Each structure stands twice: as C-alpha cells, then as structure tokens.
Structure 1
C-alpha cells in the first residue's frame, strides 16, 4: 500500500488515498499528528529496538554492525530491571511525558531530523541517527498498518530544500541517506522524496479553478522553505512538473528557532543572563545560549559536560546574584533544557491570541514565573522572521516574476507576526493559509498515489 509520510521537525503524519480523498492515519491514540520526539531509558536500547524490529533478512548484518552497542543494551536492561517485553523506548507524546517525569535519566531527542544534515558527523554518529529514525518509523509504520489492516510498502517522504544552513548538497545527501536507510530498514521497499513546500502546493492546487503563480511558504519546526510554482488546471495533471517549479529557497530556521530565541532573550534573565561578576564584568552569554540551543548537539553536550558543571560552581562564588545563576545550575544538573524551551514555545503559542502570558518555571524553583507580552515576543523573534522574509524575497527574485498569491503552511505559519512581516515586505499580494499541519502530508499522499500507481 502507498503512503505519504511527513517526517517533520515538529510532528509526524501519514496519509493514504481512500475513495479519491486523502485520509490521515491516527498515529497516537486517535490523533493524526505525533510529536517528533523520542525518549529511551538508555541510548543503546534504541539500537536494540531496531535490531528486534527490522526484517529477519536484515537482522544478521545489522547486529554485526551494531555489535558493541547491542552488548551495552544487555547491560542497560539488567541495570534498569527491564522485563523482556519492555523496550525502554518511547515516541511522541509518550516520550515527552517519560522525559518530564525523569529528565535526569535516559536519552531524549526532539526534532531529530534537524540533526541529520549536521556537518562533521562521525560514522558512529550517523549510524546512531539512522537508528533513531528507524525506531521512530518502525513505530509509526506499525501503528498505521494496524489501523489500515494492510502492509505499507511504498512511500514519499517530505524533505526541506536544505536540511542545514551550511553544508549545502553534502548535508542534504547525508540527511537523505539517513532517512532512506531508516525507511528501508523499517520495511518500505520503495522510498522517494519531495520538497515539503511543493507537497503543500500540490494540495493547494487541487482546488484551483484557474492558473496562478503561487509562492508557497512552508514554515516548519526546523526549516523554512519557499517554492515558486506555476499551478492550476493546465498544470496539475502533468506527469513531469519540474518545468513548473520556478524557484526554491530554504534555510534551517523554523518554529524551534523562534522558541529558542524567546527562551534566551526573555526567560534566561531569571537564570542570570545579563548579570555581572562582583568585579563588574558581565556574565558570559555563551553558557545561557548553550542551554537554549536544543537543536545543536555540540552546544548541548558542552552545556551538560562535567567541565561546565565545575565552571558553574566557580562562577557562583563570584557573581552578584548567585540565586539566579543557581537556577541555571538546576537546569544543567537535571537535564531540563528541553523543558525550559518548551515553556517558551507555549508562550509563543499563547501570545498568538493573547497580549500577555505568564510562563510557569516552577519545575526549576517553586513558584517561579516570568511574565511576557507580545512586544517582548516581537523583539525576540524579529531577526528570525526577517530571515524567513528574505527567503521569500529571494524566491521571487529568482523566479523573475511576481506571485498571484502567497500560500502559507507549516506549524508556525499561523503566527500573526510572520504574516505582518511578509506583508510589510511583499505588499498586498493575497496571502492564504492552508492546513498548517496537514497540507504537506496531503500533498505527499497525492504525489505518492500518482507516481506509484
């Protein structure tokens, strides 16, 4: 059976065609969108989960390649007291809940796709990301097949124009290789990829009554992509659409970066950002940035290192407001960076509708809160929003013509701040909102049906 698969930075979704219409598949209880998160009681259990879940014909080779980490998994299971039927691996909302209950234990990753194109990864790191992706796809594919009562064998997976801000095509090839390997290990026989903004455009095009030049702006959790596409009745039935795509631009900046920016600029001051040493020198900003940058492996590793823990102890003796810096120490000691940035995300969402929001930071210190308003949100994310606007302007320039419409999609596309920033630069071009979460999945599903049937 054919499936469209949005392995997104924020959420995952799958769709199939039924009676000529796209049907999204429930992946977590009755919900069709599953958060792109994974939590394991020990990182070796992820590889063990894959070893047990992949097809028997591939198990021998995989076990030989992962021999060392699979031995570690045996010791981890014994230390954790896991029963044979317990995997110790969780995905989606369940992963978030397990992490929040035990943040100081285990391995938690949010938006793993954001890391797949990282430059400088060692072979063992690439292998581990393959296992993370495979484990997640195994879970999603199994749940979808149980719901449908049929095997899923062919898929089209969405991809950003660029997985990383740096690295170019080398980063893209690495990320595509990781996802292809993972999808095939999980049991898909045929795997194709389609740019996510193009997928969103295909869904939008289905309802067009006349030809238009459309700028599709897809603001996901980890990346922002723009595609300038000729759409409409004259184009949608063509087998080869390459000539209709006039321009693509993309960058690794998305909703997660807005959350990080808000957490750093407006929440980290309660943990000492902006403070001083007794000598009058300012506290270094890098430590606070490392804590917030949850989509950067190296910075998170630096923040959680023993060396930085010792540095924090030294700093505490010399700062003017040690009670604030102690909060950063709590975050570091208890691995709370994801929880911290999550509060910024919730504030960002709330401020889309309200002018003020109280952020709950009581997981760091009893009754600790921080009040935020729309002005503070705007100040924090202005730089990120202007980068998205620049992508749209570049796509229009590359296309050499003006769009008849701008189609916004993606989890962050509903932001009033984004719309205002685009309107300020692009004028009165009609701006339309699609299904912020489902349009990419719908387009992938329609494209999969077309190329595999």
Structure 2
C-alpha cells in the first residue's frame, strides 16, 4: 500500500498557495511559473475554449480576450449564490464547479511537481466564513469539503488560517511568547492569541492547540478596502449618489456596490441591467455620468476597473497621491486619489477590525500590553494604515513580518504532517 501524500492548501479570496513537507521542512509548491502564489482568478476564454488561471487569467482578460473573468469566489461560500448557476458562454455552470476547477488546477500542479497523487489535505478556513451565522458558516465549510472530495482529496480536514500562521511563526520563535497573529487577507480579518513554545509543538505531551487563548474574526478584508475606496473616489464619476430629476431622489446604489465588488461584477452584464440603466439615464440630472457607467458595462470592463482601484490602493502604501486613469471608459478621464482618501474610506472598517481584536483580548483574559509579539500575515497587512493601527493595540510587542502570502500555506503543510504523518 502506497504511503498517503498530504498537503496544506490555502484557498484565498485574492491569492492561494499549496504547501508540502519534505524531510521535516515545509515548503510551498510553484503554482504558476516559478511563483508559489497564484491569484484566485479564472478566465473562461470563449475564443479558444480554454480556462486560464491566476496571472494568466488576469493578463488574458486585460489583453481584451473574449470571455468571462471571475475572481474572489471564496467570498460566495456560505451565501445563497454558491448554490446558483452562472452563464459561461452558452453553458450554465454551478458556482461549485467553478471553484472545483480552480482547486483542481492547484492540486494537479502540485502533483506534477511531486510526480504522485495527493490524497490528504488540511485546508485553511477563516474564523468565520459568515459573520454571526453559525449555520451558514458550517454549510460553507461543508461545501468546501465536498468540493475537495469531488476533485480527489480522500481525506479533508480544516484549520483556522491564523492558527496555521502561528505554526509558521513557531518555527522561528526563540523563546516563549504571547503572540497575536494578525491575518488580514482579501476577504476576512482573522486573529489568534496564543502562547508559543518554540520547537515544542507537543510540549509536555499536549497539543499546541491547547495553548490557544482566543480566536476571533470578521468578514472584512482587502477586497472590502478596494470597494470602499472605489465608492468614495471612482463611482461618483459614473453617477453614484447623483441626483435624479425628481426632487429628493438619488440614483439607486445597488449597481455601484456590485460594480465595486469582485464576485458580483459579472451579474451586471445582462440585458435587464442594461434596460434599467437606460431608463434611469432619462431620469438623471447628469445623464453623462450614466453614459459612462453604461459604456463601461457594454465593454465588460468592470474587472479592469477593480484591478486599477486595487493597484491604486497598493501604490498609496508608498505614495501620498496617485492618479487613477479611466481612459478606457472616457478619453482623458482620471481621478486623483490620496492616502487621506484611502484612510477615510477604510476608517469604519478599521474600527470594526480593532473591535474584533479587543474582543479576542477579552476572550483570552489578557490586555494588549501583555502581548509580546505581533505576527503579521495576509496581503492587507502591507498597508501601513492597517498595520500601524492594529499593532498599536499591543504597544509592548515586537512586530514580526511573516510571509504575507505564504505563512498560512506553510503552516497548513506543517499541520497536515502533524495530523496525517
């Protein structure tokens, strides 16, 4: 009987990784060229009937390929949308099948590297797939497990993503610490407070899990920061919150929220939306703003807009100001975005994230001053506004920068070895 081959799989809202353990050392598998991370994106090419993944999917879309772009699909787990179908060309596909395609692509890439079939997996999951709804949360995990079973994983288990990141931190800890793991990803913000014993995952015969003091999370992440920034600085150029001719009436906001939300953009490319917007244009005080929105949707460039907003957010981590070009909507159209705009757009979300950390401290029975290390992972911890605000809650802690996109995957691989080996 062949020995079971196992892995840790971090399926992220924005980026994904897959980790293996070899000779006691965890490493991430190259999933796209030499890169160990792959953007969680697919592009269904209607011209060659090929499915593109990751950076290739984004590049093919930006090159103007005829097809369907999909990203941030993890966010629909636990929502009614996961049980629906979506049109891909002339074919109706269940959303579960789309997620399965992406996860199967990752699995096959790793199996090619291994030259062996992977049968066991520990998958990462946020503290809450869905806030304040335990039934929907459990359903989301079960859906993801069923998809993993369907693509060939015979044994599927889960670990909280910040706990997995703690496993990675444990490898470099040189003394006992009270650690706050801060994992701000594309879709969620998750936190674990634990006592870390270096190189002792089974200290005194106990599972390291027994050293966890608190877990907490909230469904706010990098894609929410993108959405809020877009609503503040971009969507008003296309009629968001603009007045209608009838006194006291404003343009309906749903179209703009969907256009600023990765997983909802494709829902706007239908005849019903087009007809509604044409009608609303006739009632608008500034119809030229609606013309821009209609033109953008006719071009199916919603994802290009979202990518540009995401890039502006990243640029503002290092610069005070940037110009976002909307020339693909209207020649010469731009909007100036400052770091202050970014801070204003995410201030409410940051407050809610800080409140979640405060809840974790209460759950752990300690104060922020008791934390000795803040370990950061997740792409959104790269934003100085977020990082500085959250680490200030642990004023005596040393801040350790983990692998923003790889710590969870590495920790999941270590957890898979612990459980399956």
* TM-score after normalising by structure 2: 0.89
8 A Cα contact 1:156 1:444, kept in partner: yes
Q: Which residue in the other structure is 2:61 paired with?
A: 99
For residues 311-366 of structure 1, give each alpha carbon's deviation from its aligned partner in whole angstroms, at most 9, with x where no partner exists: 22122223333222211112222332222121111001000011111112222122
Cα drift, residue 99 of structure 1 = 2.9
For residues 124-158 of structure 1, give each alpha carbon's deviation from its aligned partner in whole angstroms, at most 9, with x where no partner exists: 68x92331222112211112221222222221111
Q: How does 1:341-356 map to 2 (within 5 A)?
A: 341-356=306-321
Q: Please say if 1:227 is aligned against 2:189.
A: no
8 A Cα contact 2:83 2:94, kept in partner: no
Q: Please say if 1:248 is aligned against 2:215.
A: yes
Q: Please say if 1:23 is aligned against 2:5.
A: no
Structure 1 residues 141 and 234, CA gap change in structure 2 (3 angstroms)? closer
Q: Please say if 1:212 is aligned against 2:177.
A: yes
Cα distance between partner residues in 2 of 1:312 and 1:134: 34
Q: Which residue in the other structure is 1:163 paired with?
A: 129
Cα drift, residue 262 of structure 1 = 0.5
Q: Which residue in the other structure is 1:362 paired with?
A: 327
Higher deviation after alignment, 197-206 or 113-122: 113-122
Cα drift, residue 416 of structure 1 = 0.5
Q: How does 1:417-436 map to 2 (within 5 A)?
A: 417-436=385-404
Q: Which residue in the other structure is 1:49 paired with?
A: none
1:317 counterpart SS class: helix
Q: Which residue in the other structure is 2:17 paired with?
A: 13
Q: How does 1:281-292 map to 2 (within 5 A)?
A: 281=248, 282-292=250-260
8 A Cα contact 1:2 1:154, kept in partner: yes
Q: Which residue in the other structure is 2:89 paired with?
A: none
Q: Please say if 1:273 is aligned against 2:257.
A: no
Higher deviation after alignment, 318-327 or 356-365: 318-327
Q: Which residue in the other structure is 2:378 paired with?
A: 410
Cα distance between partner residues in 1 of 2:72 and 2:320: 29
Structure 1 residues 209 and 21, CA gap change in structure 2 (3 angstroms)? same
* TM-score after normalising by structure 1: 0.83
Structure 1 residues 390 and 176, CA gap change in structure 2 (3 angstroms)? same
8 A Cα contact 1:10 1:35, kept in partner: yes
Structure 2 residue ranges without an equivalent (≥5): 87-92
8 A Cα contact 1:386 1:421, kept in partner: no
Cα drift, residue 32 of structure 1 = 0.9
Q: How does 1:18-57 map to 2 (within 5 A)?
A: 18-41=22-45
Cα distance between partner residues in 2 of 1:278 and 1:172: 44
Cα distance between partner residues in 2 of 1:317 and 1:115: 34
Cα drift, residue 21 of structure 1 = 2.1
Cα drift, residue 275 of structure 1 = 2.7
8 A Cα contact 1:154 1:189, kept in partner: yes
- Aligned partner of 2:230 among 256, 263, 272: 263
Q: How does 1:108-257 map to 2 (within 5 A)?
A: 108-119=69-80, 122=83, 128-166=94-132, 168-233=133-198, 235-238=200-203, 240-257=207-224
Structure 1 residues 124 and 318, CA gap change in structure 2 (3 angstroms)? closer
Structure 1 residues 312 and 40, CA gap change in structure 2 (3 angstroms)? same
Cα distance between partner residues in 1 of 2:392 and 2:247: 42
For residues 49-102 of structure 1, give each alpha carbon's deviation from its aligned partner in whole angstroms, at most 9, with x where no partner exists: xxxxxxxxxxxxxxxxxxxxxxxxxxxxxxx6x5xxxx5322111222233345
Kindly tell me the number of residue pairs found equivalent between the two proteins. Answer: 405
For residues 229-251 of structure 1, give each alpha carbon's deviation from its aligned partner in whole angstroms, at most 9, with x where no partner exists: 11113852346233211111112
Structure 1 residue ranges without an equivalent (≥5): 43-79
For residues 2-23 of structure 1, give each alpha carbon's deviation from its aligned partner in whole angstroms, at most 9, with x where no partner exists: 2111111111111212333222
Cα drift, residue 189 of structure 1 = 2.0
8 A Cα contact 1:200 1:216, kept in partner: yes
Cα distance between partner residues in 1 of 2:9 and 2:276: 44
Cα distance between partner residues in 2 of 1:293 and 1:358: 21
Structure 1 residues 419 and 283, CA gap change in structure 2 (3 angstroms)? same
Q: Which residue in the other structure is 2:298 paired with?
A: 333
Structure 1 residues 254 and 143, CA gap change in structure 2 (3 angstroms)? same
Q: What RMSD, in angstroms, separates the aligned Cα atoms of the two structures?
A: 2.3
Cα distance between partner residues in 2 of 1:410 and 1:316: 41
Cα drift, residue 300 of structure 1 = 6.0
8 A Cα contact 2:170 2:199, kept in partner: no
